[in-house]
Amino acid sequence: MARMDISDDVQTKHVREAYRLLNKSIIRVEQPDIQLGADQEEEEMQDVVEEGVMEERPTEAAAAKKKMLLSFEEYKTISNMIVVHMRREETRLEAEEKEGIHRSDVVEWYLNHVADQIETEEELIEKKDMFEKVLDRLIYHDQIIIPLTRVGLKGSDQETEEDPMLVVHPNYIID
């Protein structure tokens, strides 16, 4: 700044102006919190409206239970834990020449992983619901995890599996 004023001495006004310009040039990117379960609730409300049947609306407590808010940092932590675990399991199972990892195995692993933080059955159910919603988001919204739901050959022998095998997208790189 002193050079812009063609001055040999750096004065406090130059330092203040440089500080102000530097602070304005730094971009802060904030990620919004992740709302889990909001999509299902909207779809249910649309189904009720489409059918033309007006039922009792769920209470606010039930709506609050369906909508779970998770900070972006927590979401990234959980998703990275899932991806690292699944990749580790995929390589282990591949070496043993066994079948891949199923959705229920991932849920069970997570609940065992956080078992020391859970004290009541309600907390267990809440953690399980939250984890399943995170897993659904990774599968259907972010498409980081690929569910292999179809079994059999194309055509009439093809059936959908209840507990799909999950595979991490091969092009996904952990941040």
pLDDT, residue 31, reads 76
Q: Say if strands 159-168 and 145-151 run parallel, antiparallel, or are unpaired.
A: antiparallel
Residue type, 120: T
Considering the domain boundaries, does residue 30 fall inside one?
no
Q: How many independent structural domains does the chain possess? A: 1
What is the extent of the structural domain holding 156? 68-168
Identify whether 131 is part of a domain. yes
CA triplet 70, 149, 84: central angle to 5 degrees? 45
Hunting for tokens 């390589």 — which residue is that? 91
Does pTM top 0.85 for this prediction?
Answer: no
pLDDT tens for each residue of 64-91: 455 678 888 999 999 999 999 999 999 9
Residue 54 and residue 48: Cα distance in Å, rounded? 7
| DSSP conformation class of 116 | G
Helix, strand, or coil (residue 9): coil
Band of pLDDT at residue 8, cut at 50, 70 and 90: confident
Q: Are 150 and 161 in contact (CB under 8 A)?
A: yes
Asked, for residue 115, whether it belongs to a domain, the answer is: yes
Domain-embedded: residue 42: no
Asked whether residue 31 is domain-assigned, the answer is no
Identify the CATH number of the domain in which residue 118 sits: 1.20.58.870
Q: Is residue 106 part of a domain?
A: yes
